[in-house]
Amino acid sequence: MTTRMPPVQARTGSRNHTGTPEPRGPARHRETLELASALRLHLTYPSRGAVVVTAVGDIDTATTPRVAALLWPRLLTKLSSVVLDLSGVTFLGVEGVALISAARAYAPHRDVEFTVVGGPAAVERALRAGELAGVPTPRS
């Protein structure tokens, strides 16, 4: 049995000499990844030290690795704030909850403020089940 993954379409902005995205103009820089119709991911850099990762669709077994591929590099950089916006997520599976839990545990080690913005009732229930709702991530 062969499984084929849908192609990833990406739009990116300019990058500096270290490969880090540069904010465009005075506002921000945005990147978008679209994974068929299951999940869309957006990166927005509202300021030099902050990024917002916005997910729209389902975060499940198939899409969690894609979210991780965007989230972890941002936690490993010199950003001071990483926001994961789940307001457009319709389903948050166990793998997604585990990813958020691991990111939340790791962020203080990099002195990164990690914030999760919840979403619809199903997402909020998943966050509560993973004991992730309403608790900010402390910075070290």
CA of 36: how far to CAs of 14, 50, 66, in Å?
25, 27, 12
Q: Is the pLDDT confidence value at 21 over 80?
A: no
Q: What is the pLDDT of residue 103?
A: 95
pLDDT score recorded for residue 50: 96
Q: Model-level pTM? A: 0.70
Nearest partner of 62 among 94, 84, 87, judged by Cα: 94
| Cα of 107 vs its chain's centroid, Å | 13
| Token pair recorded at residue 112 | 């990164």
Which whole number is the average pLDDT over 5-9?
42
The model's confidence at residue 65, banded by pLDDT at 50, 70 and 90, is very high
Predicted confidence at residue 14, as pLDDT, reads 47
**Pick the residue with more confidence: 45 or 7?**
45
pLDDT at position 139, please?
53
The mean pLDDT value of the chain amounts to 79
Question: Does residue 64 contact residue 89 with C-beta atoms inside 8 Å?
Answer: no
pLDDT at 98: 95
